[in-house]
Amino acid sequence: MPPHTRRHVRNTGCRDQIEVETDVPTNTIENYVAGRSNEEQKRKRGPTFMCSIWGYHATQYGGERLVVNFNKYGQPIGQNKSLFVEFLGIIARNGKHAPIDIRSWDKMPKSLKKNMLEVVQEKFEIPRGTDVWVLQSIGKKWRNLKADVKSRYYDPNMPTELQLCNVPKRILKDQWKNLLFYWSSEESKCISERNKKSRSKKSLMHRTGKRSFGQVREDQEKSIGHSPTRVEMFERCYTKEGITNSIEACEALEKMKEIRSQTSQTEDFGRDDIFSKVLGNDKVGRVRMYGFGVTPYVAWGEIPNRSSAYRVIEDYKEAFEKIEKQVQEQGEVIAKMKLDMQSTQQATNTTPLRATQYSQNGDVCSFNNNAHIQVGTKVAVKSVVDSAKTVAIGYIQSMDPTHRVGNYPLGPNWCSVHINIPLNWEEHLIRPHSTLTTIGQAIGTYVAWPQALVVREDD
């Protein structure tokens, strides 16, 4: 088979570079390789597979996922941003997760999209409401892959049968076959011509490289102390140290600066800003210089589209779930307090109260017919739940119903006990006061306790 030459145009951000690839006949491959010197054989890095991320099974083994931060516009930023975006590209290039032979991203089955989200959420911890951005990003990378494969491996002048034998490495054979037949159809050719005309009208190329507009905006905001305008973003992204190799970008920037110097407008913000006056209005649902996925609603607060509305709804759902969780926790605390009060009442009702007699100054009291307890008597404090269990040893401080403990009077059938030796530190106080809630916390101070649950220590 005679050698075949293809020209590939690769977009580098500033200019187009042309790479020439030559298919060498199989019968001359060995001679071709042997004739090349070591200096001519250039080593390449090869494709990215991100094996370390695929092997990062954090959620299965109880570990933590890689946290990805998003800015106020719903774009990934920060430390793990590059890993996250590159991993989305790996999914887009995986024929099992995202088949390349499907006509358009809109026709991608929902079950496959759901599976892609599950894979991403298994490796990365992302905020709620960012699912739409993730799928949009995978879809964009999926379309770029399809365009790249077509420009590198498809030749409209070569018979389809011959091209079936040249399956690209990361493309499944059946999907490659379907792609070849579709690209050979008249429908595909018409769409291709239309897209080429649209692409030829683009004259401005940014110079930010792999860094997204969202990350550039975040860095600019930290640098200048306020959110950059679209004119400032244009100057930052389309020039390098104030110099650009694009005549169109240079002319546009000069016009923007001229308008800004002539107008008394203090704020350059909104749909009708200086940027739009020079480069025209944005397409529906798009906002230039804000980066991928930002809509007019997100940037300027206009009527939201479907994806923006979804994100707002998810934010409200997350806030509601937090409030609901707090209410549930408070409800559990209240239920526990009610249960403790019921236990106290049951213990008081089931334990026979002993006759109580107070002296005029409230110093002496008879709790039963056989034993007399007065102020200073050493007593054993019994548990509310189990009256046979002693929870502390202490001394009677007062039996006067008007005596106050924790700003509340004791009342009838109660006494004030000075806790000396706590035996059950976790026993809850029947009447918590101040910051005291357990017997252990009340050591060295006074607590209110039912008379029926206080007996002489030697009993």
Please say whether the beta carbons of 234 and 243 come within 8 A.
no
Per-residue pLDDT reduced to its tens digit, 140-179: 999 999 999 999 999 988 988 899 998 998 899 999 999 9
Cα–Cα distance for residue pair 455/389, rounded to 1 Å: 12
Q: Would you place residue 105 in the very low, low, confident or very high pLDDT band (cuts 50, 70, 90)? A: very high
Residue 168: closest CA among 100, 70, 242, 258: 100
Name the percent of the chain lying above pLDDT 70: 77
Q: Give the pLDDT confidence score for residue 361 in this predicted structure.
A: 42
* 47 band by pLDDT with thresholds 50, 70 and 90: confident
Q: How confident is the model at residue 385 (pLDDT cuts 50, 70, 90)?
A: confident
Has residue 355 got a pLDDT over 80? no
**Among 222, 225, 227, 206, residue whose Cα is nearest residue 73:** 227
pLDDT classification of 29: cutoffs 50, 70, 90: very low
Integer Cα distance of 153 and 155 in angstroms: 7
- Work out the pLDDT band at 240, boundaries 50, 70, 90: confident
Q: How is residue 243 annotated by DSSP?
A: B
Residue 142 confidence (pLDDT):
95
For residues 87 and 243, the model is more confident at: 87
Q: Where are the beta strands (DSSP E) in 348-433?
A: 364-366, 372-374, 378-382, 390-398, 404-405, 408-409, 414-422, 428-433
How confident is the model over 32-36, as a mean pLDDT?
A: 38
In percent, the amount of the chain with pLDDT more than 90 equals 20
Helix or strand holding residue 53 (H, E):
helix 51-54
Question: What is the tens place of the pLDDT at every residue in 180-234?
Answer: 999 999 998 898 889 888 888 777 778 787 788 888 888 888 888 888 888 888 8
pTM of the model: 0.54
Predicted pLDDT at 42 = 61
Report which listed range, 67-76, 112-121, 349-358, is most confident.
112-121
Q: Is the pLDDT of residue 21 over 50?
A: no
Q: Which of 44-58, 148-162, 254-268 has the lowest mean pLDDT?
A: 44-58
Report the range of poorest mean pLDDT among 251-255, 263-267, 404-408, 441-445. 263-267
